[in-house]
Each structure stands twice: as structure tokens, then as C-alpha cells.
């Protein structure tokens, strides 16, 4: 079958013929109808996570998918051939930029009935990220104040909608050209990041979801109330992540060092910092499906390209300019 593979880190994606996936006892073989592009895909291609996400070269890239069930393993009870599904393939088993992929049953959910394959493919990674940040780690409640950075992006556009559904007052950073768009998603306060300093405008926030890192993350600590929390999805990774990932002692020490500065600044301000590296979860996707079919969350697909344009579309992610997600369609 055809797939886009990484033959060596930092090299361009290459279209290749690869073996058909092996379908294990608890696997679901899916004919991929659409797959979305994520910054995580590019970071994996560049080798940024190879210390703890080791893939044997060459490997097929891609984390998100929507498609049709072709075959199920002997132990699968939740899906049957012909059903439409979507999901985020778990780490070490990625490969959605292909005609077919075998996905663990636990990582899939039935596709929301109210949306297209392209829209469904855009959701898993970003929606799970928003869910795990706001519901699991943030435990956002009605009446709280939440700042979502980059509100017009993939994670941001879903996080605004989810935070609003949870009853929070939502602020976001965006360009002036995207101000009406993010307000339409539910943002109460929009900060033009080109002309305004969010740290001078906002204060007393319960939670910040930061997707930018660096100085933006440091400034985010300043808008939190005492006891508030900043959740970073661009890093730096923290010791809790290293423990959960089962990394060896040397890597744990190294990762603790990477985040020591931001954790120290957080402590001085009386706030918390946590790193989130989202995980696959079919159970959480089913919760998200219900919200999508109720109209609470709507996917935002800013660009759809044919399968053979995946390498160029992935390269273009860095330049930005796409509202929500970019999606590739089947061969």
C-alpha cells in the first residue's frame, strides 16, 4: 500500500510502497479516508522527540485519522467492518499518512454522525489535548477564568469551545483578522497579540493553556491568581511527564533540568506549571463525539489538500495562516 514515510530524521517525507498492517487481536484495520496534519507530526519528523519516542526508521508518519473499518481482530468487540471511525493512533503505533492502518481498539471511537470525514480527522489530537488540559489537569469549573493562547489554531479553536461549555470566561490571543472568528467560537475577551500585551490586560486567571512556550509561557504565569495553573503543550517537559513516560534516570534528570527555570518562576509567583503530552483515548473521544453531535464543539478545517500534497502541506504548517486544521484526503 502507499504511505508517506520518514526514511531519516529531518529529511522530506517520501511516498513509498509499504507492507499491509498486521492486525493484532485487539486491533482495528481502518481504510484511511482523511488524516490531519499536526505540529507534532513535524516535530517527530525532525527528530525532536526521539529520546523518548523512538521509531525504527523508516516509519510511516501521521497521528490523526478518520476512515472506515475494514477488519477487526479476534478480540475486538466495539467495532465491526463498514463502520466509520476516527481516532489518534497511540505513540509508537502512528502511521495515518497511509491507505490503511491498524489501530488499537482502545484508541478509536465511532465518527460523529453530524460531520464529514475531513472534519472528523481534524479533531482527535487537538480535541484530546483540549480535554486533557481543561477537564483532566485543569478541572475547569463554571465561573472560572481561562486564557487560551493562539485561539484560531487547531488546539485553541477547540479549547475555546470546550472552556465555554464548561462555564468559564474565556480570553484568547489572536490576530486582529481572527478576532471575530474566535469570538464566534465563544471567546469573551480577545487580545491582539501583535499590538497588545496580554500580561498587561489580564489578571486573576485560574488557568492558562499555552501552546507557544518560551517567553509567552513565562508571561502567562503573571496573569494567574495565586494557586492558578499554566499548562504547556509545547514544553518544556516536567518531571511528572518523565515519570509517566517511564523514562530512565538519566533522561528524568535531563528533563527536570529543562523545566527547572519555569517551575522555579511559577513557585515564586505561587502558581503551578504542568506539561501536557496528550495521549490517545477512545473513551474521551466518545465524550467529544457527544459534544460534536450536540453542536457544542464544531471542528475547524481551514485547508484540505490531496494525499499526494502531504509533504508540502506539512512544511507549510510552520508558516501558519490556517484557521483550525489542515487535512489531507485519501488517495
Helix (H, G, I), strand (E, B) or coil at 81: coil
The CATH code of the domain at 2-123+299-329 is: 3.90.180.10
Query: Does the pLDDT of residue 246 top 80, yes or no?
Result: no
What pTM value is reported for the model? Answer: 0.95
179-236 pLDDT, tens per residue? 999 999 999 999 999 999 999 999 999 999 999 999 999 999 999 999 999 999 987 8
Higher pLDDT: 74 or 52? It is 74
- Transcribe 15-78 into DSSP letters: EEE-PPPP--TTEEEEEEEEEEE-HHHHHHHHTTTTTTS--PSSEE---EEEEEEEEE-TT--S
Spell out the CATH class of 125-275.
Answer: alpha beta
- Domain extents in the chain: 2-123+299-329, 125-275
Alpha-carbon distance 266 to 291, whole Å? 34
Burial of 135 (0-12, 13-18, 19+ CB in 10 A): middle
Query: Does the pLDDT of residue 247 top 80, yes or no?
Result: no
Query: Does the pLDDT of residue 118 top 70, yes or no?
Result: yes
Burial 60-76 (b: 16+ CB within 10 A, else e): bbbbbbbbbbebbbeeb
Same fold, 2-123+299-329 and 125-275: no
Structure confidence at residue 331 (pLDDT): 61
Of the candidates 181, 174, 122, the one whose C-alpha atom is nearest the C-alpha of residue 151 is 174
Mean pLDDT throughout 146-174? 98
pLDDT band of residue 249 (cuts 50, 70, 90) is confident
Structure confidence at residue 54 (pLDDT): 82
Structure confidence at residue 229 (pLDDT): 98
Query: Does the pLDDT of residue 12 top 80, yes or no?
Result: yes
pLDDT band of residue 239 (cuts 50, 70, 90) is confident
Mean pLDDT of the chain: 95
- Which cell is 109 given? 471511537
Q: How far, CA to CA in Å, does 153 sit from each of 178, 300, 324? A: 10, 9, 5
Mean pLDDT throughout 44-48? 92
**Percent above pLDDT 90 for the chain:** 86
Mean pLDDT throughout 125-143? 98
Amino acid at each position: 500500500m502507499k504511505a508517506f514515510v520518514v526514511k531519516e530524521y529531518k529529511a522530506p517525507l517520501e511516498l513509498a510502497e509499504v507492507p499491509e498492517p498486521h492486525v493484532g487481536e485487539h486491533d482495528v484495520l481502518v481504510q484511511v479516508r482523511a488524516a490531519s496534519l499536526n505540529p507534532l507530526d513535524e516535530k517527530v519528523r525532525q527528530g525532536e522527540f526521539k529520546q523518548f519516542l523512538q521509531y525504527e526508521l523508516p516509519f510511516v508518519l501521521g497521528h490523526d485519522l478518520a476512515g472506515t473499518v475494514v477488519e477487526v481482530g479476534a478480540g475486538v468487540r466495539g467495532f465491526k467492518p463498514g463502520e466509520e471511525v476516527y481516532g489518534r493512533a497511540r505513540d509508537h503505533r502512528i502511521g495515518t499518512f497511509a491507505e490503511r492502518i491498524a489501530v488499537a481498539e482502545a484508541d478509536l471511537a465511532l465518527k460523529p454522525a453530524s460531520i464529514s470525514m475531513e472534519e472528523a480527522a481534524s479533531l482527535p489530537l487537538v480535541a484530546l489535548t483540549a480535554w486533557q488540559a481543561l477537564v483532566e489537569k485543569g478541572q475547569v469549573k463554571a465561573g472560572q477564568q481561562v486564557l487560551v493562547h493562539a485561539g484560531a489554531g487547531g488546539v485553541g479553536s477547540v479549547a475555546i469551545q470546550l472552556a465555554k461549555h464548561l462555564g468559564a470566561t474565556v480570553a484568547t490571543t489572536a490576530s486582529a483578522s481572527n478576532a471575530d472568528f474566535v469570538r464566534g467560537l465563544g471567546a469573551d475577551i480577545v487580545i491582539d497579540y501583535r499590538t497588545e500585551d496580554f500580561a498587561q490586560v489580564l489578571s486573576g486567571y485560574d488557568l492558562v493553556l499555552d501552546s507557544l512556550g518560551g517567553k509567552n509561557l513565562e508571561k502567562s504565569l503573571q496573569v494567574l491568581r495565586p494557586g492558578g495553573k499554566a499548562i504547556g503543550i509545547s514544553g518544556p517537559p516536567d518531571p511528572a511527564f518523565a515519570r509517566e513516560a517511564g523514562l530512565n534516570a538519566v533522561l528524568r534528570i535531563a528533563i527536570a533540568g529543562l523545566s527547572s527555570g519555569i517551575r522555579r518562576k511559577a513557585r515564586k509567583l505561587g502558581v503551578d506549571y504542568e506539561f501536557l503530552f496528550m495521549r490517545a483515548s477512545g473513551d474521551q473521544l466518545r465524550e467529544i463525539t457527544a459534544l460534536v453531535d450536540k453542536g457544542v464543539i464544531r471542528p475547524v478545517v481551514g485547508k484540505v489538500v490531496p494525499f499526494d500534497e502531504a509533504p508540502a502541506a506539512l512544511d507549510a504548517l510552520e508558516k501558519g495562516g490556517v484557521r483550525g486544521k489542515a487535512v489531507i484526503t485519501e488517495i
